[in-house]
């Protein structure tokens, strides 16, 4: 159902606009930079939480930069 929602219709059209893609990429990069420079280490995280933290705030911004 979600796939159909994104691929067709208003949401799909909105997501495919270059301005929206640029804005989302910039937002993800800003969150990654702020987290890595200011917020990392303020709350101790261990185990699976640490892995999820690294993926969300490390790999996702790098992937967005590659996009």
Residues 19-40 have pLDDT tens digits of: 998 999 999 999 999 999 998 8
Torsion of Cα atoms, 44 then 47 then 52 then 57, to 10°? 40
Q: Does the structure show a pLDDT above 50 at 7?
A: yes
User: pTM for this structure?
Assistant: 0.73
Please report the pLDDT score of residue 16 as a whole number: 84
**Cβ–Cβ under 8 Å, residues 50 and 67:** no
């Amino acid at each position: 159902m979600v796939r159909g929602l994104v691929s067709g219709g208003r949401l799909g059209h909105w997501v495919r606009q270059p301005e929206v893609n640029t804005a989302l990429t910039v937002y993800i990069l800003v969150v990654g930079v702020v987290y890595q420079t200011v917020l990392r280490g303020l709350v101790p995280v261990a185990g699976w939480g640490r892995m999820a933290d690294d993926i969300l705030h490390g790999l996702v911004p790098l992937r967005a930069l590659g996009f």
